């Protein structure tokens, strides 16, 4: 749960400069138990956001390691299309950092509740991320209200 105003970015970045100023806590903010689903496709500013949640100890992550960290290379991207394959390569030329300290820039955001994703689950249409999260919630309720 949010406790006090905090910046999103570590420094002012052009049109996002105001996000380097502390963002006030919303008057009607969520104060329950927060679960954030996480996987390797969580990139770009999702890494910023999850790093901020982790740094400020807001909620719990369920899933697999993220595909990003508190730094994101983007902005003024250069895009090159390879002539023979039509493969598109995109090169970020700027780095944006979330306002956090003491986090390894080379490490992904790690889940508090890791899960194993199996190919068969995908084929069966199972959402193991949601199922695991609901199991955690159910288990917590049962501990508070045993039969």
| pLDDT tens profile 34-51 | 999 999 988 888 999 999
Give me the pLDDT at residue 93, please. 76
Domain boundaries, position 107: 14-117
Note whether residue 66 is domain-resident.
yes
Note whether residue 104 is domain-resident.
yes
Note whether residue 82 is domain-resident.
yes
80-119 pLDDT, tens digit each = 899 999 998 888 778 899 999 999 989 999 999 999 989 9
Note whether residue 94 is domain-resident.
yes
Residue given tokens 């806590």 in the structure block = 25
User: Structural domain tally of the chain?
Assistant: 1
1-23 pLDDT, tens digit each = 678 899 999 999 988 999 999 99
Q: Can you give the pTM of this predicted structure?
A: 0.83
């Amino acid at each position: 749960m949010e406790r006090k105003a905090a910046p999103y970015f570590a420094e002012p970045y052009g049109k996002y400069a105001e996000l380097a100023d502390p963002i006030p806590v919303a008057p009607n903010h969520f104060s329950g138990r927060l679960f954030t689903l996480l996987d390797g496709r969580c990139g770009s500013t999702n890494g910023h956001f999850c790093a901020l949640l982790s740094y400020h100890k807001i909620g719990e992550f369920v899933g697999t390691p993220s595909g990003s960290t508190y730094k994101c290379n983007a902005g003024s991207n250069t895009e090159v299309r390879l002539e023979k394959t039509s493969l598109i390569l995109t090169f970020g030329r700027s780095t944006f950092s979330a306002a956090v300290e003491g986090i390894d820039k080379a490490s992904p955001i790690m889940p508090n509740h890791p899960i194993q994703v199996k190919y068969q689950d995908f084929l069966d249409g199972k959402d193991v991320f949601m199922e695991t999260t609901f199991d955690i919630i159910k288990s917590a309720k049962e501990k508070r209200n045993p039969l």
